[in-house]
Amino acid sequence: MTVGKNQKMEMVHGYSIWLMPEPNDGAELGKTIAALSKKLEGPVFPAHLTIQGQISEGLSSILPKFRSLSEEISPLELTTEMIGTQEAYYRALFYKIEKSAELEDLNKRARTSFRRASDPEFFPHVSLLYGSILESEKQKLLPQLETTLPQTICFTHLVLMKTQGPVDKWELVEDVELK
């Protein structure tokens, strides 16, 4: 069972750079996120893969670096490895994404641009559920999710999000379609 309305929500600060899936993949992932969030009283959020989070620079400094990153990447079709769970609020339940050379390079360039080289190791994933949820509750969901695990997810947009405060207050700053 979730902690529900009394659930302690972790707060993030600053800006984040996300890869966003193409519309069909995004819609399917969105349905899964919405259903899980409703069932376990978690927040609803857009399907995404975080390239770099917790960027605390000012927007005037971030935007040129973000735009430079977006010019150097094409759409990515990435392979899902498995469904995973963690105790971390923003990784309660997720699809683990296989590292590709292009994905690792994008993360490395973002870390360099935003001076975040000392961040924890890059862990590419698409979260399906945020929350402080008991492991036993998450384990009950795995059999059904394993039958719908997509083999690949195509990412066609790089977005800059203001991820300040609770999830429902996050804001899209800029969206670039990858070419």
pLDDT, one tens digit per residue, over 113-139 is 999 989 999 999 999 999 999 999 999
Please provide the average confidence, as pLDDT, over all residues in the chain: 92
Q: What are phi and psi of 66, to 5 degrees?
A: -60, -45
Confidence tier at 5 by pLDDT (50, 70, 90): very low
**Domain CATH code at residue 58:** 3.90.1140.10
Provide the pLDDT for residue 60. Answer: 97
Average pLDDT rounded to a whole number, residues 23-30? 96
Confidence tier at 147 by pLDDT (50, 70, 90): confident
User: Could you tell me the end-to-end alpha-carbon distance of the chain, in angstroms, rounded to an integer?
Assistant: 43
Q: What pLDDT digit, counting tens, does each position of 50-68 carry?
A: 999 999 999 999 999 999 9
Percent over 70 (pLDDT), the chain: 93
CB crowding 38-74: b at 16 or more within 10 Å, else e: eebebbebbbbbbbbbebeeeeeebeebbeebbeebe
Report which of 176, 50, 26, 175 is spatially closest to residue 107, judged by C-alpha positions.
50
**Does pLDDT of 6 surpass 80?**
no
Q: Could you give the number of structural domains in the chain?
A: 1
Confidence tier at 10 by pLDDT (50, 70, 90): low
Structural domain boundaries enclosing 164: 4-177
Using DSSP's 3-state secondary structure scheme, residue 177 falls into strand
